């Protein structure tokens, strides 16, 4: 297995809860889910040269209840 870097990450409570629920649905750990999502975003960018979102610099508006 290749070496992995440790990166401190701060998430809002709402975002963390949403990712945790998604991870549970996909039978992954929260860390695994974040790594999966980042990997998919990088693949998408390499595929078409664009980021997934058009407004990547704006903070996300999470309507999570």
Per-residue CA distances from 22 to 15, 32, 36, 48, 59 (Å): 11, 11, 11, 26, 20
Q: Which residues contact 16 (CB under 8 A, 6 or more apart)?
A: 30
The yes-or-no verdict on residue 59 having pLDDT over 60 is: yes
Angle (CA) 51 17 41, round 5°: 15
Q: Is 40 exposed, middle or buried (0-12, 13-18, 19+ CB in 10 A)?
A: exposed
Q: What is the pTM of this model?
A: 0.69
11-52 confidence digits (pLDDT tens): 999 999 999 999 999 999 999 999 999 998 888 877 776 655
Query: How much is the average pLDDT of 40-65?
Result: 69
């Amino acid at each position: 297995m290749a070496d992995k870097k440790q990166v401190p990450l701060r998430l809002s409570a709402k975002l963390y809860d949403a990712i945790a629920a998604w991870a549970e649905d996909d039978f992954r750990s929260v860390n695994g889910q974040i790594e999966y999502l980042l990997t998919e975003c990088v693949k998408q960018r390499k595929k078409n040269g664009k980021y997934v979102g058009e407004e990547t610099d704006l903070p996300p508006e999470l309507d999570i209840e």
